[in-house]
């Protein structure tokens, strides 16, 4: 019985540590010309192929693997990297 509980605890800790490799990125996308927030800009993870859109204040939150690159794009603007 103790071995079963110990094994279950070990598996739980292994699952938690595997998820700990992702980080949460918060940011604000602003226009370079007038520092106004860009509403609806796309923020994409190149590794996970997932993304988020900026809100009315130009802010976004995205979970990505540590060290990965994100791409920000917006209609009418050139592509940038963060």
pLDDT, tens digit, for every residue of 68-81? 888 888 887 665 55
Buried b (16+ CB within 10 A) or exposed e, 25-64: bebebeeeeeeeebeebbbbbeeeeebbebeeebebebeb
CB 23 within 8 A of CB 51: no
Which tens digit of pLDDT belongs to each residue from 18-55? 555 788 999 999 988 898 999 999 999 888 778 999 99
């Amino acid at each position: 019985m103790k071995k079963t509980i110990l094994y279950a605890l070990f598996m739980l800790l292994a699952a938690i540590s595997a998820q700990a490799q992702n980080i949460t990125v918060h940011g604000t996308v602003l226009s370079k010309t007038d520092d106004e927030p860009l509403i609806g800009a796309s923020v994409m993870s190149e590794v996970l192929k997932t993304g988020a859109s900026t809100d009315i204040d130009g802010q976004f939150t995205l979970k990505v693997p540590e060290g990965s690159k994100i791409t920000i794009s917006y209609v009418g603007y050139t592509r940038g990297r963060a």
